[in-house]
Every structure is written in structure tokens, then in C-alpha cells.
Structure 1
Amino acid sequence: MATENPKKMEKQITNPWKWQDQRSYVQAVEVTQIQGTLYVSGQTAISPDGQSSTADMKTQLTEAIQNLEQVVGEAGYDCKNIVRLNIYTTSTADLWPHFPILQDWIAKHGMKQATTLLEVKSLFETLTVELEATVVR
């Protein structure tokens, strides 16, 4: 009979300032006693049959979040344990009005993740936003 490991994953958040709280991220996350780490490729608004979305930024952001949730869940992890979220977009100006969608999703899962936002020249085909995550268990 296998015995369960009594050690539980722990997260330590480091925020020397308060301003990042309004932007829904933390400055650093230390994770100890990890049982597994999932490195998720950038998730975008690509349909189950592999078609890249031509929709607006809001729709693509929502679909990218849904695809990220699906990958994380099917791998047996929880979105609440995303410790790193990289956001790539072809236009921060187009993304900003819809940033509350991402912030609400982060709050819904109670995430405390380090985040980097990068504007890039282009993404695959017609895509405008991509979410890349590291998740722990």
C-alpha cells in the first residue's frame, strides 16, 4: 500500500510594493515541495480543428483563456496553481480595454502569478494574443 506524501506544496509571494495588486500579478513566487510542474505552450484562439481565429481581440482573449483552462485541466492541474503567466500580444493598445477579462479570470481562480506582458510584431497567422503558463502541483 502506497503512503501519501504528507508534504504539501507551498507558495511564498514577494511584493515589495502595492501597485502590482491592481494589475493582477505578483513580483515573485517561490514554490516549495512541488509534486509536479506543467509547462504549457502558448495558448491562442485556435479552434479544436486547428483554425486560427480572425475575431477581434476580446474574442481571441476569451478563447485563449478557455484553451489554457482546457489544457491545464486535462493535464490534471488547477489554474489556481499557475505561477507564471506570459502574455504575448500584437497590440497592447487593443488588449488594454479587455484586460479586465483576464483580471476577472485570475481572480476567479485565486491565482498569484508572476506575469510578463510583451507586444510582439506578429503571432501565428491571424492571432493577436497568446497565453503561456507554468503550473505547479
Structure 2
Amino acid sequence: MVQLEEILAVTGETTGWTTEFGKPWDSDLDIVLVPRACDTENWEDSPQRLQLTVIGPGTEDPQTDRAAIIQYMEDKGLTVSGLFGDPSYPDGVSWDASGLGENGLEITYGTSSQSRVISLYGECSSHPSMQNKVSGDTP
């Protein structure tokens, strides 16, 4: 989960994050991920990819926070798209950005004064190990 640790470092908040299920996030957490279809229309024979979502504390400056993540994504070679956010937004509305890399690698990021959400999507793969739950000890 090195990439997630890098993103948390960019946010400046490396503690206080939870999984999407409310469990405290720890980089040493032995988490089991369920692969999801890359092609939702043809999901029965689609390659699979992993998704990990963490939720963290808000920020006082969502615009600057999002700009730092955009720079991170560009530095990693991702094509940035899906930018949402405007200074006229009321407090608590999320400033969002998505980055897409080769073969399905994707980062989505939402930041507001109330919370931040990071979702990482792995590359698409048809490897047999992607047909079930995947964890750190999956062969």
C-alpha cells in the first residue's frame, strides 16, 4: 500500500484515516480486498481490479489540498480529469479530482472542510488470483 502512504503524506494528514467500513486505517493492516470488474457492462468475463477507499479528516483549504494531489497524480504520469470545485461552493462541499493511468490504474480524491476520501483502483488483470478475495498472503 505504498502508493496510499505516499498520497497520505501529500495531504499532510497521515493519521486519523479509516477504511470505508469505519475500521482505523494502518499501512500494516492485513486487509482483504474483493476484486471488481473493470467493465461493468460485461462483468462476467471482464478483467478484475482492486479498489481501496479510505476516509480521513477534513482540511481548512480544500483548493490547495486538491492542487497538491493533482500535482502528485501528474508527477506519477496519470491523466487528470473529473475536476470539480469552485470557490463559491458552500463549506463542506467536496473539491474532487480523478487521475487515470495506463491499464485502468485510477486515483479519485475528494476533499472538503469536513472530510477527505481517497479511492485507489488497481490495474485491470485477468490473473486467476483476481477471481476471489485478495490479501497480502494471496499467492
Q: Which is helix-richer, 1 or 2?
A: 1
Q: TM-score, normalised by structure 1?
A: 0.29
Greater relative contact order structure (CA < 8 Å, 6+ sep): 1
